[in-house]
Amino acid sequence: MYSRKSNDNGATWLPPDTLSDVASPLPLQPDPGIQPLYVGDYDYGSAILTKHVTSWVDGRNPINGQSQQDAFTDRELVGFAVTTTSPACNSVISTQPVDFVINLSDPVNPSTVQASDFTVNSIPANSFVLNGTNTQITFHFNSTPVTMQGPQTMHIAAGAFNRQSDNAPNFEFNCTFCYAVMPLAVVSTVPPVGGTFSPPAPGTYNYDVIFNQAIDQASVQDSDLTVSGNSGPSVTGHSFPNATTVRFTLHMNFGGALTATIGAGSITAFTCNGNAAFTGNYMVEGCPPADHYVISQIGGSIVPGTTDSGNHGDDTVTSLAIPFSYALYDQSFTSVNISSNGNAQFTTMATDFTNVCLPWLSHNYTILPYWDDQRTDNLGWVGCTTYPGGTCGVYTSISGTAPNRIFNIEWRAVYFANTAQQSNHELRLYEGQSRFDVIYGTVATGNSSATAGVQKNDTAFDQYFCNGTGGAATGGQSYVITPCGSPSPTPTGTPSATPTATATATATATATATGTPTATATAPSPTPTPASPTPTATATATVPPSPTATATATATATATPTPIVTPRTTPTPRPRPTLPPRP
């Protein structure tokens, strides 16, 4: 096996040379699928500072009279080079040395070495000492060439000295190390480690990280700080109150625990002094994350997707980047795995096409807008022809602007059992909230053979419908975790059934008339400010004023809002229809 090598990064190439120790004979073994006569096969090669290593197969060794393809490895030492140094390349030191140790791959010809061959920051050494084997040179400076904190450059020019064995010149040597009087480190935070973020979540908070010296502001990124915990934290920005402080902006969805981490070397001082690793644990005031969503009717219509996700298939799962950090239950996510079968998995990528009633075992953190056997490919299905562009698929769009965006994921699908029938539905994820909505367009078979709901784990889940029981696959539903201790909010969605309210007012006269009191009874709902449709569940009792007395009205209202069905038991699965065979 032959190869050519370059000693100048590919500018010129030496003549071909045998890569293996011996030439590989032609084994004359048939391999009709690839090559009739198989000589050999290069497999792997890698160049490091002092040698080139490679592996291959060839037929040099016959077995039972026939050459076989055997695996071999070999190394080729490169030219005369510096192998290691002290200070080491890319190291950080806190002293200002006057002696620098250079180790060589081979003994050097002493007569070719001069003190000026070695420089630090372009300053030549004043003297040198060779060790007994001539493989190590210690270059000495009368005064340190390291005078300023930051990167320091060591250099030996190509051909500065020669190898003892064959007088071959050395390769150029050039590397840097960092001089830093004090390693960069976090000295404190606000709030302090072990402290508490307030007021109660959800909300946006400042988190100040204070270092022991001025930092390189250009080295700081939001991603340098990683946050985790059941408070559902995310990093949304950063600023610099002063030269030693980074103020990260955090958003927390819940009360609970928060762990903040900055990896070693993420942030620098003097461009090369990377920070020591830091981790701090904190608490966040407020209600801890709940394990259950409240499902409310909101009506609404599908916001058309405009970006093709690439999901076009049967039992196909596609990973989508979410344009913001989204919290489902107590965890934040920046991507979601979308199945053509109508579910959104945040931690798994299952292709299951037969739905089950919740829980769906071992599929934590999953939203199921409409889990049924569907397909999003385009193989001439009649049901696809009336979608925009006449195609099926999963399409996305973004509504609103930061920090109040909504990520819309629209399924334009057909049923596997009947590709002439459409299954059009949408999942909407809300920025800065744990809320999501599900909107139904045309879903030909309704809830008869599908599952809708959300699941945290095998014991915490909320099901909207399954195989014909539960709510209807029409309109829209808002899924919201209600914070603890919150008053019951007023629903802003349109109920699917007309609520009734009865109000009774009793007036008691007093001596002075001062105004017209009004008592209003509002139908409660646990949905905090969902989408825009107008509420219809409000009953009002009004007592007219008297010219000589103040009327004190006492109103008692009984409101019956839209029933929300959240079955928690698993119904007996209905018999599934016989489907055509899957391809």
In 10 A of CB 424, how many CB atoms? Answer: 21
Q: How many CA atoms lie within 13 A of 467 on its CB side?
A: 14
Is the model's pLDDT at 183 over the cut of 50?
yes
CB 385 within 8 A of CB 397: no
Is the model's pLDDT at 492 over the cut of 90?
no
pLDDT band at 48 (very low <50, low <70, confident <90, very high): low
Is the model's pLDDT at 25 over the cut of 60?
no
In 10 A of CB 467, how many CB atoms? Answer: 20
The three-state secondary structure class of 284 is: strand
At 20, the amino acid letter reads S
Q: Structural domain boundaries of the chain?
A: 2-77, 83-179, 186-286, 294-480
Is the model's pLDDT at 91 over the cut of 90?
yes
In sequence order, which residues have a C-beta less than 8 Å from that of residue 297 and are 6 or more positions away? 475, 476, 477, 478, 493, 494, 495, 496, 562, 564
* pLDDT tens per residue across span 193-243: 999 999 999 999 999 999 999 999 999 999 999 999 888 899 999 999 999
**Residue at token pair 């590709």:** 419
This prediction has a pTM of 0.57
pLDDT band at 38 (very low <50, low <70, confident <90, very high): very low
Candidate from 14-23, 272-281, 449-458 with smallest mean pLDDT: 14-23
Q: What is the pLDDT of residue 504?
A: 39
- CA 277/CA 209 separation, integer angstroms: 13
CB 79 within 8 A of CB 168: yes
Is the model's pLDDT at 570 over the cut of 90?
no
Is the model's pLDDT at 70 over the cut of 80?
no
* Strand partners for 104: 82
Q: What is the pLDDT of residue 49?
A: 59
Q: What is the pLDDT of residue 73?
A: 75
* pLDDT tens per residue across span 441-465: 999 999 999 999 999 999 999 999 9
Candidate from 72-86, 306-320, 470-484 with smallest mean pLDDT: 72-86
Proportion of the chain above pLDDT 90, given as a percent: 65
The three-state secondary structure class of 218 is: helix
83-179 and 186-286: same fold? yes
- CA 72/CA 56 separation, integer angstroms: 5
Instruction: Find the mean pLDDT for residues 385-410.
Output: 97
Q: What is the pLDDT of residue 330?
A: 87
Q: Give the pair of three-digit tokens for residue 279.
A: 């981790």
In sequence order, which residues have a C-beta less than 8 Å from that of residue 366 and are 6 or more positions away? 343, 344, 345, 346, 347, 348, 360, 454, 455
Q: What is the pLDDT of residue 67?
A: 62
Instruction: Find the mean pLDDT for residues 471-495.
Output: 69
In sequence order, which residues have a C-beta less than 8 Å from that of residue 195 and are 6 or more positions away? 282, 283
Q: Give the pair of three-digit tokens for residue 261.
A: 């981490």
Instruction: Find the mean pLDDT for residues 500-513.
Output: 38
Q: What is the pLDDT of residue 46?
A: 76
**83-179 in CATH: which number?**
2.60.40.1220
> Omega of the bond prior to 87 within 30 degrees of 0, cis?
yes
DSSP letter string, 97-140: -SEEEEEESS-B-GGG--GGGEEETTEEPSEEEE-TTSSEEEEE
Class of domain 186-286: mainly beta
Instruction: Let me know how long the chain is.
Output: 583
Mean pLDDT computed over every residue of the chain: 82
